[in-house]
A and B are shown apart, each in its own frame.
Chain A
């Protein structure tokens, strides 16, 4: 009897350790906006069990206007977050060591939304015609466009989110996600035409997953597992967006299921080029990061140019 007890005691750490490794690793992914098809693949990864398969218990938290995701990641409040590609460059230039791991959009869906009856053919037309354009003051794309179309005639006004003024003012144009706001406007009865900012020459990756470099180096396997699961989630979302859309519609009442369905469809070519292999989902090249760095330096958003290979890791 005593012998059995001693054996049990000796082997209890082993048993406990085995039980530990069977428990999933808890992680958090912080979004920088509310649940929308922009983040569909992450929710799909959760719903389809992709995270679970890799023994990851991922909590996805929504964000809103001004959520400081880069700071949250940089200060280890969350291990993974979503940010814009230019935020990665600017943070690195200021000495904050965060890296991009996965890019949802190969083509950035940021755009300018206009009333079709204005007769615009390009963003240049918007800038060179009198009227108002609501655009986020101080943003990289704003500064790029202001530089690109120097001497512009349009009046730039603050962008406060939403489409309320677009619906009521016929001379008003605004920034948008081409997969989102124009669809909402059309649903509210106002047809909308949109132009990609990428077509004007500014093409950062869109909606990138970020983490601290130190964290990635210390948790390589876990990071690889997470990114693989994310990729699987996006493949699943591109194939069958409904389950994730249903969940997101519950989380974010501002967008109804119908609009989400349309947006998920419209955004496909931005995420994966026709004919490309699904395994290429989310991967990034050094050329594009270098171009972005050069452009941000030209518009004086950064004083020093970080090396392009420091900005991202491919998994």
Chain B
């Protein structure tokens, strides 16, 4: 990218950030906003630097739990969607229960997860998986149902088997939708992991819990910042795989 082009793509999002942080800093320093409501950005950065090792280890724990949870929900969700897409009866019977995964308040069932999976990463992974599975089911189902009818006709014309229809047509055709669902699911997986950590222990969730107990709002913000970054990392990974897979043919990946 030429220097000017890079400037014009980085400047717009960064400018409001710097202005916002500057205003916040002044407001807290002058006492206009009490520091227990919002910490001064400089305090948050000091926290990030002081605790960088602890935060890095916690971030790695949360990220690995979120990633495993995401992979589990991807495998289970995709399989579930494929089964539902192949039978109208199955879809009508079981899809409403999938919606349950969307609406269940994870903070309320997290203590149950601890009883089933024990303290530590198993509960955190389960929490991440439960929270992130629905977007994958919904998007994959939509993708599988949206196959271009003329292509389905083409496959039927040559008496394609159900397996051929699924692997050679429906699944590849649904990939853009599947990736779309994965993108949403990755952010949710991080949230699910952190909520799981509130109850199950470890990772950034326990950093937030401990900081909250000590009323160190600056540490809370630092941990929250890092967890937002984790979401970005996961979505970035999904985008990367999406570009590799769809790059050659899908309009969403092609540059204008």
Contacts and interface: CB of A to CB of B under 8 A. Distances in A.
B115 A165 contact: yes
B119 A138 contact: no
A158 B115 contact: no
A168 B120 CA distance: 17
A68 B198 CA distance: 19
Given A132-B119, A164-B111, A168-B115, A158 B213 contact: no
A137 interface: yes
Contacts of B115: 164-165, 168-169
B84 interface: no
Interface in A151-183: 155-158, 160, 164-165, 168-169
Interface residues of B, number: 20
Contacts of A160: 111, 198-199
Given A75-B34, A132-B119, A158 B209 contact: yes
Contacts of A27: none
Given A71-B36, A132-B119, A165-B115, A66 B200 contact: no
A139 interface: yes
Interface string A125-162: 00000001000111100000000000000011110100
A136 B210 CA distance: 8
A12 to B, nearest CB: 43
B34 A155 contact: no
A142 B225 CA distance: 26
Given A137-B209, A138-B214, A158 B34 contact: no
A156 B36 contact: no
A169 B118 CA distance: 10
A301 interface: yes
Contacts of A75: 34
A136 B206 CA distance: 10
Main secondary structure of the interface of B (DSSP, over half): helix
A90 B206 CA distance: 21
A158 B200 contact: yes
Contact of B201 (A70, A157, A164): A157
A139 B213 contact: yes
A234 B209 CA distance: 34
Nearest to B36: A71
Contact of A158 (B206, B211, B214, B215): B206
Contacts of B119: 132, 155, 157
Contacts of B214: 90, 138-139, 301
B130 to A, nearest CB: 18
Interface in A22-77: 66, 68, 70-71, 75
Contacts of B206: 137, 158
B59 interface: no
B213 A138 contact: yes
Interface of B: 34, 36, 111, 114-115, 119-120, 197-201, 206, 209-215
Given A137-B209, A157-B201, A301-B214, 17 more contacts: A66-B212, A70-B215, A90-B215, A136-B213, A137-B201, A137-B213, A139-B214, A155-B119, A156-B201, A157-B200, A158-B198, A158-B201, A160-B111, A165-B111, A165-B114, A168-B115, A169-B115
15 contacts: A75-B34, A90-B215, A137-B201, A137-B206, A137-B213, A138-B209, A138-B211, A139-B213, A157-B120, A158-B199, A158-B206, A160-B199, A164-B111, A164-B115, A169-B115
